Structure 1
Amino acid sequence: MRVDLFDFDLPDASIALRPASPRDSARMLVVDGATRTDRIVSDLPAILRPGDCLVFNNTRVIPAQLQGRRGNATIGATLHKRESLRAWRAFVRNAKRLREQDEIDFGNQVSATASDRAEDGSWLLTFAGTEPVETLLGRAGHMPLPPYIASKRPTDERDASDYQTMFAELPGAVAAPTAALHFTPDLMAALDSAGIAHETLTLHVGAGTFLPVKVDDTLDHKMHAEWGTIDAETAARLNEIRAKGGRVIAVGTTSLRLLESAHRDGAGIAPFEGDTAIFITPGYKFRAIDGLLTNFHLPKSTLFMLVSALMGRETMQAAYAHAIADGYRFYSYGDTSLLLPSK
């Protein structure tokens, strides 16, 4: 499909620079088939049905942005995927000043050697020493805010907590699963009281999620792989929920992509551990989920293509036009949408 079919005009004023407070007071556009309703996130227990299940991503964002020097050159790096115990694939700023086997000094006794430049321009950074890389990042790294926020203000201490979900447990993501940022302990208690279950899986979100689509046709776009896992017990419980008539609703596109990657025809959602580079565009047949809670996405992004595949492109273009006109806040710190496709 042509990428320009997924374009729309978005005013800069629509981009949220801070999250709502409290988190569950964010606005929520409910798109149920052809019906649109303006609600807030704390309404979820009244909107979902007993027996439904929300699926959260329990990845934890690491301080994956680094600023260092190679000789007289300033080098910026954003880690996006672990390749081994001490090596991460990274997107590098000022990469023209970098050569194979150059050492980058990131300060605070943290350094890495650059090698194996890939076709997408990323480098493999192998960190020196024996301390865990997470320890090194804790000394020298910064929270990797999305570029559409970082370009408007610097990262600060608030982001260390604002950009983590209440489910964050397993470190490894370089971007937050932002739909889950709206959840609070009080909201989870209300959902539990309403008979709405929840499960967790892990997908370590990579920086590739922020990369623009630079081709004219979706067939020519290559997704970056991300590592994820669903254990056998979780898969079995999710299959049981659907067998009993409950709906599996992914909280965030990361949860959705992993659930769809784990689905096996005839077996339902199966245990999964490994990389996924699934790219969902209109025409895709969803097999593992019955709904999606997700924030508002960039024009011409793979994520807007995904929600268009779920609900229909014209439906989502109209929903986004309504959201913009009605003052909804977009992107990672913005408001959210609950998408329930017609069966």
Structure 2
Amino acid sequence: MTPDPLRTADFEYELPPELIAQEPLTDRTASRLLVVLRNDRRVGRQDRRQATRVGVLPRRVSLLGERTPVGSSAIVDSLFTELPSLIPPGDLLILNTTKVRHARLLGKRPSGAAAEVLLIHPGAGGTWVAMGKPGTALQPGKRIELGPEASVETVEVLPDGNRLVRFLGMSAEDALTRYGRLPLPPYITRPPTELDETRYQTVYARVEGSVAAPTAGLHFTTAMLDSLSAAGVVVAGLDLEIGPGTFKPVDAEDPSQHAMHPEAYEIPPRLAALVERVREDGGRVWAVGTTVVRALESSAREGGTIAAGRGETSLMITPGHPFQVVDRLVTNFHLPRSTLLMLVSAFAGHELTLAAYRYAVAQRYRFYSYGDAMVIM
């Protein structure tokens, strides 16, 4: 008997507000790590050779915490500092090297009332695609003053509700340098501080283009990455520009009706060659974050390899997705009813994912961007 399709309500869970991390820990690697050991050949990459190794720890590894059975799978409490011991030499660890742009602009309407603009990505002819509040302040022809020398004017309301805006008085680049602020997620309820300037960026961030950080990568230090490389783990990067849709809950009752915002990505030729080489050598592909998963699966070719080049993806991954590239996933804990939680459920299995989340809540893990991490094996 075929099970009923999952609905958006099936991706709910209860989270006490005090478990939403408002501050980063003193040390990036000090987070806890929930290890999820799958034992279900129907999820993850659909390769028989790989499936036989799902849920099996490397023989040399002994994690700190006790195993909690979840059906034939298990979850184990650990620390992020233990992650390197889980990754065997010859495996490939893939990072998203995007950098968060200082895309949040605070200004005033002609009346003196406050307004806010969030730049998403450049448009044609010097314009920018943006969103903001209140919506009445971003109607065609209306201006928001950023300072005595600069303002933002709305050119057009786009079909998806975003705005096309242009800068007056100075270039967008100069305005962002002078007035731009780091766009912290809406669930972080305090103003940004100097600490966020470094801690809401990964240590390997390269090219500005995102409005949110690839948060699974926030736990890594340069020293940890260097030690992984020295131990024989292959470390490489791709770039996916994270848009505001990452925070958007799925409102449609049927997840398949949710419209994903497109995001630009780039797969370097070196990474495509590394994936092919690691596959040939029998290694696994580890994705650091859901954005890496989406980029890899969007560029997948037959045989578990990927195509190099630039692209744009609106791929929404839900349970039943046939993973072609990714074998292991390092990720943070995500919002209820979010496309990110649906992706994790597709990779780990829906029931196991929700069981892991309930366990994390009971054990007082820290959630969301500055929270703790999970690795799905």
Aligning the two structures, in what range does the TM-score lie when normalised by the shorter sequence? over 0.9
After superposition, the Cα gap between the structure-2 partners of 1:181 and 1:326, relative to the gap in structure 1 and judged at 3 Å, is: same
Task: Give the equivalent residue in structure 2 for 1:123.
Answer: 163
Radius of gyration: which is bigger?
A: 2
Please point out which of 80, 101, 106 is paired with 2:146: 106
Q: Report the alpha carbon displacement of residue 79 of structure 1 after superposing the two structures with TM.
A: 1.7
Q: Aligned partners of 2:170 and 2:180: how far apart in 1? A: 17
Q: What 5-or-longer segments of structure 1 have no aligned partner?
A: none
Q: Report the alpha carbon displacement of residue 108 of structure 1 after superposing the two structures with TM.
A: 5.8
1:52-201 alignment, distance < 5 Å: 52-72=91-111, 73-84=113-124, 86-107=126-147, 109-128=149-168, 131=171, 133-149=172-188, 152-201=189-238
Q: Aligned partners of 1:241 and 1:109: how far apart in 2? A: 53
Q: Report the alpha carbon displacement of residue 130 of structure 1 after superposing the two structures with TM.
A: 6.1
1:80 counterpart SS class:
strand
Q: Aligned partners of 2:173 and 2:325: how far apart in 1? A: 33
After superposition, the Cα gap between the structure-2 partners of 1:278 and 1:224, relative to the gap in structure 1 and judged at 3 Å, is: same
1:260-339 alignment, distance < 5 Å: 260-265=297-302, 268-339=305-376
Q: Report the alpha carbon displacement of residue 160 of structure 1 after superposing the two structures with TM.
A: 0.9
CA contact (8 A) 1:228 1:274 kept: yes
Q: Report the alpha carbon displacement of residue 208 of structure 1 after superposing the two structures with TM.
A: 1.4
After superposition, the Cα gap between the structure-2 partners of 1:192 and 1:307, relative to the gap in structure 1 and judged at 3 Å, is: same
Question: Runs in 1 of length 4+ with deviation above 6 angstroms?
Answer: none
Q: Count matched residues.
A: 337
Q: Aligned partners of 2:347 and 2:220: how far apart in 1? A: 23
Q: Aligned partners of 1:267 and 1:290: how far apart in 2? A: 10
Give RMSD over aligned pairs: 1.5
CA contact (8 A) 2:249 2:336 kept: no
Q: Aligned partners of 1:107 and 1:290: how far apart in 2? A: 49
2:355 counterpart SS class:
helix
Q: Report the alpha carbon displacement of residue 266 of structure 1 after superposing the two structures with TM.
A: 5.0
After superposition, the Cα gap between the structure-2 partners of 1:259 and 1:129, relative to the gap in structure 1 and judged at 3 Å, is: farther
Q: Aligned partners of 1:130 and 1:335: how far apart in 2? A: 41
Please point out which of 230, 251, 255 is paired with 2:267: 230
Please point out which of 24, 37, 40 is paired with 2:76: 37
Q: Aligned partners of 2:258 and 2:106: how far apart in 1? A: 29
2:187 counterpart SS class:
helix
Task: Give the equivalent residue in structure 2 for 1:20.
Answer: 25
Q: Report the alpha carbon displacement of residue 86 of structure 1 after superposing the two structures with TM.
A: 2.6
After superposition, the Cα gap between the structure-2 partners of 1:8 and 1:267, relative to the gap in structure 1 and judged at 3 Å, is: closer
The more displaced of 186-195 and 59-68 is: 186-195
Taking every aligned residue pair, what percent have the same amino acid on both sides?
42
